[in-house]
């Protein structure tokens, strides 16, 4: 197989997107993030002049993945920029791309994510025979600086949820929904995307369990307590029936127009709720997830249990919350001990 593919970038990226969605089980949001990073890489490669001599580089018999046969390079196609510039990149090009972003003061987390996108793409291209060697194998980036997440104290979390309950006293549908979402996010530590994908059959109010589908379509069951169960029951019996429409489907949480609630609506609801309490940080759904994990660990839960609850693949990810607990312990010690 040739090392150069006489195809358009968009065709190769479309095949890569299908791989992410169908074979890797990535979410649409994740796939779009990967494609955005690769389009940025393509723009950089074009500005750098990669692919200017594609006709000379492309051997007769370059592989066409759609036809599974050799094709003859067409000079007119090459002249119109119809070759896949991404597949012509080498390690030097990729390092130059990251270096250019670093000089532009891009965040370390951005550099790490874009490098990961490139590694995933070129690994796939190598396995499928689109290129002979993976140029990203020796591509290294600095680890992003890990910052401790902003969380609520147990008292502030209780105050926030109490305020949400008061706001729902008049049984207004959106207020009932927001209270139920807040209670479930804090009780279970699930991700905002997992919350929005919940269907009615995924909720077991009697046993206090929710079935969620996390990253990579991995399924897990998470528990929630009685306050969350009561809030969800109030929403399902008093609020949801007033918003439901014929096309609402089985979604647990609905927007004001009767469609499945979106992630932005959840973020706005959480931020608005936390802003109502003076003196506490305004956080989003991720902040509630961090808060839940930290409070569970503070209560003596095993780290492996928290890993399962949050749906982390790696225990190292969960260990971040132990650092939060230690920092909270140090702060409490400094305030309380006379010789701290």
Cα gap 27→32, rounded to integer Å = 9
Same domain membership, residue 97 and residue 160: no
To the nearest 10°, the Cα dihedral for 304, 310, 315, 321?
-90
Same domain membership, residue 92 and residue 204: no
Report yes or no on 277 lying in a domain. Answer: yes
Report yes or no on 32 lying in a domain. Answer: yes
State residue 77's pLDDT score. 35
Query: Residues 304, 308, 309, 312: is their CA dihedral positive or negative?
Result: positive
Range of the domain at 237: 154-285
Cα gap 111→107, rounded to integer Å = 7
Same domain membership, residue 219 and residue 270: yes
Packing angle between helix 28-48 and helix 91-103, nearest 10 degrees?
A: 100
Same domain membership, residue 173 and residue 245: yes
Domain with residue 236: its CATH number is 1.10.443.10
> pLDDT digits over 238-288, tens only?
999 999 999 999 999 999 999 999 999 999 999 999 888 888 778 899 889
Q: Any idea how long the chain is? A: 340
pLDDT at 234 over 90: yes
State residue 41's pLDDT score. 93
Same domain membership, residue 190 and residue 67: no
Same domain membership, residue 109 and residue 176: no
Report yes or no on 148 lying in a domain. Answer: no
Same domain membership, residue 184 and residue 107: no
What whole-number percentage of the chain has pLDDT above 70? Answer: 77
pLDDT higher for 15 or 319? Answer: 15
Backbone angles phi, psi at 168, to 5 degrees: -95, 5
Same domain membership, residue 78 and residue 18: yes
Find the DSSP H helices in 7-107. Answer: 9-18, 28-48, 54-57, 75-79, 91-103
Q: What angle do CA 267, 273, 277 make, to 5 degrees?
A: 140
Same domain membership, residue 217 and residue 274: yes
Report yes or no on 317 lying in a domain. Answer: no
Cα gap 288→301, rounded to integer Å = 17
Same domain membership, residue 118 and residue 177: no
pLDDT higher for 115 or 76? Answer: 115
pLDDT at 112 over 90: no
Q: Which of 127, 145, 179 is the last residue of a domain?
A: 127
> pLDDT digits over 113-136, tens only?
899 999 999 999 999 988 889 999
State residue 302's pLDDT score. 73
Query: Could you tell me the pTM of the whole model?
Result: 0.62
> pLDDT digits over 135-181, tens only?
999 887 766 556 666 788 888 999 999 999 999 999 999 999 999 99
Same domain membership, residue 180 and residue 118: no
Report yes or no on 161 lying in a domain. Answer: yes
State residue 78's pLDDT score. 37
Question: Other C-beta atoms within 10 Å of 55: how many?
Answer: 16
What whole-number percentage of the chain has pLDDT above 90? Answer: 41
Report yes or no on 218 lying in a domain. Answer: yes
Report yes or no on 146 lying in a domain. Answer: no
Same domain membership, residue 246 and residue 164: yes
Cα gap 36→55, rounded to integer Å = 27
- The model's confidence at residue 72, banded by pLDDT at 50, 70 and 90, is very low
Report yes or no on 1 lying in a domain. Answer: no
Number of domains making up the chain: 2
């Amino acid at each position: 197989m040739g090392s150069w593919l006489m195809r358009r970038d968009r065709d190769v990226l479309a095949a890569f997107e299908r791989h992410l969605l169908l074979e890797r089980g990535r979410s649409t949001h994740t796939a779009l993030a990967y494609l955005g990073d690769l389009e940025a890489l393509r723009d950089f490669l074009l500005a750098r002049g990669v692919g200017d001599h594609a006709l000379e580089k492309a051997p007769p018999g370059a592989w066409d993945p759609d036809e599974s046969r050799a094709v003859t390079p067409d000079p007119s196609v090459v002249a119109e920029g119809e070759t896949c510039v991404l597949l012509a990149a080498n390690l030097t090009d990729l390092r130059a791309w990251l270096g250019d972003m670093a000089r532009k003061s891009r965040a370390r987390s951005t550099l790490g994510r874009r490098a990961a996108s490139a590694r995933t793409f070129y690994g796939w291209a190598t396995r499928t025979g689109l290129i002979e060697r993976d140029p990203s194998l020796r591509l290294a980036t600095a680890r992003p600086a890990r910052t401790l997440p902003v969380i609520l104290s147990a008292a502030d979390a209780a105050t926030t949820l109490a305020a949400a309950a008061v706001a729902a006293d008049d049984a207004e549908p959106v207020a009932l929904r927001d209270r139920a979402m807040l209670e479930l996010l804090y009780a279970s530590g699930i991700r905002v995307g997992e919350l929005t994908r919940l269907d009615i059959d995924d909720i077991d109010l009697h046993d206090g369990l929710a079935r969620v589908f996390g990253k990579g379509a991995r399924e897990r069951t998470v528990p929630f307590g009685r306050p969350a169960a009561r809030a969800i029951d109030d929403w399902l019996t008093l609020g949801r029936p007033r918003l439901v429409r014929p096309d609402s489907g089985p979604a647990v949480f609905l927007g004001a127009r009767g469609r499945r609630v979106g992630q932005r609506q959840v973020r706005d609801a959480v931020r608005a709720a936390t802003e109502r309490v003076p003196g506490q940080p305004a956080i989003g759904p991720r902040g509630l997830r961090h808060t839940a994990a930290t409070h569970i660990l503070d209560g003596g839960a095993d780290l492996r249990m928290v890993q399962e609850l949050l749906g982390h693949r790696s225990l190292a990810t969960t260990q971040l919350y132990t650092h939060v607990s230690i920092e909270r312990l140090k702060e409490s010690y400094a305030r309380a001990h006379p010789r701290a």
